[in-house]
Amino acid sequence: MAAESKYKELHVITGGGGYPGFCLGKELIKRGHRVRLIDIREPVWDLLDGMEFVKGDVRQMTDINTAFIGADIVYHLASFGMSGRDQLNKKLIEEINIGGTTNVIKGCYDNNIERLVFTSTYNVVYGGTEIINGDESLPYLQDDKFTDHYSKTKRLAEEKIISVNNTETKDGKKLHCCALRLAGVYGPGEQRHIPRIVSLLEQGIVKFIYGAADSRVDFLHVDNLAQCHALAGEALTQSKHFKAAGQVYFVSDGKPINNFEFFRPLFEDLGYSYPSIRLPFLLIFYCALVIEIIHSVIGKIYNFQPLLTRTEVYKTGVTHYFSIKKAQDELGYSPTKQNDLSEVVQLYRQMGRVKSKRKSYFSLSGIILNVVLFIVIFSMIMSYLPYVK
């Protein structure tokens, strides 16, 4: 007789080589499950006991089926185009976010997997218009309201995931699905947003803030992300009466805060002055538009990282936050950390990323920003002069 496994179930995480996926994997290990990560890039962190990595691409069905063999549940975190220059690569965004999601669903059907948790985003309903304590009854954003392709494809992927809830797998089992709409994720080891901010600080580029001083947005600590995903997976089981099946949930720390105030500890504890200049929101928005245009023309030649995109300006400068009551009531979600950057700051201090006394170095991005600001401000002045009498 074969020895009984010490693990409860096998949980598969697409995008498991990334920061959120790997942190979710650690949480699932704590809960007694075996974890299989699939990604095109290996994790930079050491695998835990009970965790395995499969190098694979969600665009390839052979890779999907290899990773999904024997799985009890799939957490679909793999995506592309969330920020920076990646937002401008429409072809790859569609291949991964739409095509990859289609493959993940097919992989669940072919391997008789009965649970699928999709990682979505606030941006499926938010497009720059103020939202205060929004909930899951809000309609999807329409195509002409999106300022980036990532958000549009995430909406299409979420709609597809929810539409296949309760459909039959290859052997006639039922596939139960739900979606978690996440706020901006942070935590020690996050590799996308915070390193970019610290790099801009080191280049001396972050000299101003924008948007209304009382604007507020949500953030999501990675520990809370992992908790809510694990709870959502459990809420798709019969023992939980399939409570989450066919549902969507907003997930955040549950404590809205001004975007720039959130990052104040990062500025000050690394030795940088918190910006005292506040520029008009529309000025920065049109600067971002010009930067996107410049990137579309010369980005492939110089391979520079856009300082801001229009979507990033919307997400950081306009009030939009959502209630987590549904996730609390139906999933038992309870944030353990709220707007807590202490571990992040400690990590960067340990890395020696504290401001040195030497002058900040120049960068192509800094030069472009100054040129763009000059062009936009000059254009605004010139457009105003005809009305001056």
| The length of the chain, given as a count of residues | 389
Catalytic site residue from 126, 150, 210, 321: 150
Neighbours of 6 (CB within 10 A): 9
131-134 and 115-121 beta bridge pairing: unpaired
Dist. CA 182–CA 228, nearest whole Å:
10
Dist. CA 240–CA 112, nearest whole Å:
20
235's tokens: 């809420």
Closest CA to 331 of 223, 245, 254, 219: 245
Dist. CA 65–CA 61, nearest whole Å:
6
Asked if 288 and 313 count as a contact pair (C-beta separation under 8 A), the reply is yes
Rounded to an integer, what is the distance from CA 107 to the centroid of its chain? 24
Dist. CA 166–CA 373, nearest whole Å:
52
150 is catalytic: yes
Strand partners, 38: 14, 54
Asked if 188 and 260 count as a contact pair (C-beta separation under 8 A), the reply is no
Asked if 368 and 249 count as a contact pair (C-beta separation under 8 A), the reply is no
198's tokens: 């610290």
Dist. CA 291–CA 19, nearest whole Å:
28
Give me the active site residues, please.
150
